[in-house]
A and B are shown apart, each in its own frame.
Chain A
Amino acid sequence: MVASSLLAHTRNLDLVIRHVLAGLGHGIHAGVERGAGVEFSEYRAYVPGDEWRRVDWKLLARADRYYVREAERDSHVAVWLVLDATASMAEPSRSIAGLDKIAYARSVLACIAAIAQRQGDAFGLVVLQDGRTAFTPAARGPRQLHRVLAQLEQAEATGVLPDAAALRSALHFARSPSLIFAASDFLDWPSPLSEALLRLRHMRHDVRALLLQTQAEVDADFANGAYRDPEQGEGQFGFDQSRQGAYAAARDAHFGAVKAQSRQHDVPLFAARIEQAPGDVLRALLKQSGRR
């Protein structure tokens, strides 16, 4: 299993996917829809990005060409990945140098995209960044995976969330039943993002939220000194040991409210620390999804 410190050393999401998903049984949703190679339908030519295990080796021996076994039907479920790339997502891990929330979110969403691609699901990406919504329409196949990974690799944590109206107009994608994974720090709640997620849930989509935190935030353990909020601009905040209790109380109150509201609206919220191994987090996230 890959330790999260390794995420700090690479931006190559292909590499991350290959390491994180090694040995991880795949499957986002259990159900009647078939994944890769469950029920044989046809052969199609190999394209770079297809998994080697889907290549039909006997056919290779006969025809001297690579063919891939296609499943009978593609899944009807579209997977949507929502990445919050606002300035607060640049929050670094205070114990692992070079690791921050945005890199972690990028890696987890890339792994989900890879799993969806292997299952034959359509998947798309929404990046919320700098007051804008960058939108990659849902599609299937290895090319789509490359497209989504390229978008993810470009996403830098800057700016604030788009306003509610802009986000609402961007959410017209959800016609067919879809599965929505949102990775954010949920420091703003209610926010345009939280409203959009609850709205999608009310439209009977399957919404799962990944709440990213750092170990330092959980322990309320920062270096003494002056801090400023990356998104709210003015003002300074001092931290020392005497303020630990107040910080923990305010934080618990906020996330308590967040969890209560997400439970009330039946949106599973999985809280993860970015110091945790991404494979564990992914497995827990998918297992939680699979229970439903």
Chain B
Amino acid sequence: MSSLWWWALPVLLLPIWWHRQRRRQVLATPLGTARFLPKSAPRQLRAWRWVDIVLLLLRCLLLATLIAWLADPIIAWRGDTVLAADSSKDAIGWFRGREAEWKPDAKIVVTGPQTMAATQPRLRHQVELKTSAPPLAPVVRHVAVVGAHADVWRAMFAAIDGPVRYVVDAAPGPASVTWQSPAELPHDAAAARALFESWQRVHYPPAPYIAPPQVLAADPSAPLQRQSGALRDQLLMALIALFALERGLAHVRKR
């Protein structure tokens, strides 16, 4: 939509025309007895000549900058890139937000742990995921067990093996999470696991799933997200500076 602003570029002809016209008026020399001559149309100039070249260029540049600011262009200038991400950042989503800044044939490599999205992202560039799940760091969690069959549950927590270890505290404290044990023990292993997982979901966030290494093929028909602001600030600053310069120069010329 905003690229329609480029059609406003012929506005640049206006200052060119003004500066040329002024030149044409200056050309007549004063003649006291001019009133005895028939009036004539102002003479056309063969060669186009301009007055105040600097001011003219400044005005053209000002208008062009204004149009560019309105059109908000995005320049594809980035080449092959390696995105180093960690598990807390969505590198693919970030890339999709400003994909237009990359050249069409650029290749992207994403390193570091990257959470797998629910659906496969559609991108116009080939993206290679060189992800690796880091070894789970050993975690120690504190649990205080209250309720019936406390000793049984204490034995179960102590028996859990793996990167996550549970330390059973004697009484509930600020560092520990309370395990309110149900009145009766579950009858089979599946019921016990369901109970444990629901307890963990309530108290601990799920660990992200790291996407396996793979190559996402380029999809030329992928929708390009509309994006803006890449050059807006610089263009706005240039616009203000050019406007101030133009006003100053015009004022000096008028004197």
Seen from chain A, the residues whose Cβ lies within 8 Å of a Cβ on chain B are 87-91, 101, 185, 187, 217, 222, 225-230, 232, 235-239, 243, 246-247, 250-251, 254
CB-contact partner of B37 in A89, A227, A230, A254, under 8 A: A227
Give the interface centre of B32, B34, B38 by most chain A CB atoms within 10 Å.
B32
Q: Which residues of chain B are near A246, meaning CB under 8 Å? A: 37-38
A96 to chain B, nearest CB (A): 16
A-B pairs with beta carbons under 8 A, tally: 83
Q: Which residues of chain B are near A238, meaning CB under 8 Å? A: 37-38, 40, 43
Q: Which residues of chain B are near A227, meaning CB under 8 Å? A: 28-31, 34, 37
Interface SS of B by simple majority: loop
Interface SS of A by simple majority: mixed
Give CA–CA (A212, B42) in the complex, Å.
29
Give 12 A-B pairs besides A227-B34, A230-B31 with Cβ atoms closer than 8 angstroms: A90-B32, A185-B32, A225-B43, A226-B29, A227-B29, A228-B28, A228-B31, A229-B31, A229-B32, A237-B28, A250-B35, A250-B36
Q: B39 near A: Cβ within 8 Å? A: yes
Q: B33 near A: Cβ within 8 Å? A: yes
Give CA–CA (A73, B115) in the complex, Å.
123
B43 touches A230 (CB 8 A): no
A-B contact pairs, 8 of them (CB 8 A): A89-B32, A217-B32, A217-B33, A222-B31, A225-B28, A225-B43, A226-B42, A228-B30
B36 touches A225 (CB 8 A): no
Q: Which residues of chain A are near B37, meaning CB under 8 Å? A: 227, 237-239, 243, 246-247, 250
A221 to chain B, nearest CB (A): 12
Give CA–CA (A230, B33) in the complex, Å.
9
A27 to chain B, nearest CB (A): 33
Q: B27 near A: Cβ within 8 Å? A: yes
Q: Which residues of chain A are near B31, meaning CB under 8 Å? A: 91, 222, 227-230, 237, 239
B52 to chain A, nearest CB (A): 21
Q: Which residues of chain B are near A230, meaning CB under 8 Å? A: 30-32, 34
Chain B 14-51, CB-CB to A under 8 Å as 1, else 0, gives 00000000000001111111111111111100000000
A236 touches B39 (CB 8 A): yes
| CB closest chain-A residue, reference B29 | A227
Q: Which residues of chain A are near B33, meaning CB under 8 Å? A: 88, 91, 185, 187, 217, 247, 251
Give CA–CA (A230, B39) in the complex, Å.
14
Q: Which residues of chain B are near A91, meaning CB under 8 Å? A: 30-33
A241 to chain B, nearest CB (A): 13
B40 touches A225 (CB 8 A): no
Give the interface centre of B28, B34, B43 by most chain A CB atoms within 10 Å.
B34
A254 touches B42 (CB 8 A): no
A228 touches B32 (CB 8 A): no
B29 touches A237 (CB 8 A): no
B24 to chain A, nearest CB (A): 9
A226 touches B32 (CB 8 A): no
CB-contact partner of B42 in A88, A236, A251, under 8 A: A236
Q: Which residues of chain B are near A217, meaning CB under 8 Å? A: 32-33
Give CA–CA (A246, B32) in the complex, Å.
16
Closest 10 CB pairs of A and B: A91-B32, A238-B40, A88-B32, A227-B31, A237-B37, A250-B36, A228-B28, A230-B30, A226-B28, A229-B34
Give CA–CA (A275, B86) in the complex, Å.
96
Q: Which residues of chain A are near B39, meaning CB under 8 Å? A: 235-237
Give CA–CA (A169, B53) in the complex, Å.
51
